Amino acid sequence: MKNMPGISLIEITCEKCKKTYEADSIEHIDLSEDQELIKNLKAGKANRVQCPKCKKVMYLDRSIVINFEPQSLIAVYDPQAKTDEKKEELRREYDNIIAFNEILTELAEETEFKVISSLGELKVLLDEYAKVYM
């Protein structure tokens, strides 16, 4: 994957053969800049990795922050955030991040924040975005 903001190089251990390797992990996507990632997001394949030794495909268990710019919507897609408690934990993390900066606090007042655990719900948001902005 090209070197973009919002992507980190992380170490993975293969579930099958136990080989350790490095792979890109998407942490943040700004749809106004990264529209080519919409297809992978909709397919649930945004953080898909493949072991170079045994070719085992795995999906990273990580949240992805999606900025639906210019819609004033920020969504955290986390398939593991199925409980209200987990969603509230992600909301507190967001609040803690924006609290450190006056400009971010002002932007947050004008921006909707959602936690999404359902791929179906994410697809609806991405389709609506694509109709208007692509």
Q: What percent of the chain has pLDDT over 90?
A: 60
DSSP of 21-36: EEEEEE-EEETTT-GG
Q: What percent of the chain has pLDDT over 70?
A: 96
Q: Is residue 76 part of a domain?
A: yes
pLDDT confidence of residue 5: 61
Query: What is the tally of structural domains in the chain?
Result: 1
Domain ranges, residue 62 = 7-133
Q: Is residue 112 part of a domain?
A: yes
Task: Say yes or no to pLDDT of 62 above 70.
Answer: yes
Q: pTM higher than 0.85, yes or no?
A: no
Q: Is residue 2 part of a domain?
A: no
Q: Is residue 1 part of a domain?
A: no
Beta strands at 7-13 and 48-50: parallel, antiparallel or unpaired: unpaired
Q: Is residue 78 part of a domain?
A: yes
Angle subtended by helix axes 102-109 and 84-99, to nearest 10: 130
Q: Is residue 103 part of a domain?
A: yes
Confidence band, pLDDT 50/70/90 cuts, at residue 4: low
DSSP of 48-104: EEE-TTT--EEE----EEEE-TTSSEEEEE-TT--SHHHHHHHHHHHHHHHHT-HHH
What whole-number distance in Å separates Cα of residue 6 and Cα of residue 11?
A: 16
Q: Is residue 97 part of a domain?
A: yes
Q: What is the mean pLDDT of residues 98-109?
A: 81
Q: What is the mean pLDDT of residues 12-22?
A: 97
Q: What is the DSSP letter of 4?
A: -
Q: What is the mean pLDDT of residues 37-59?
A: 92
7, β-bridge pairs: 26
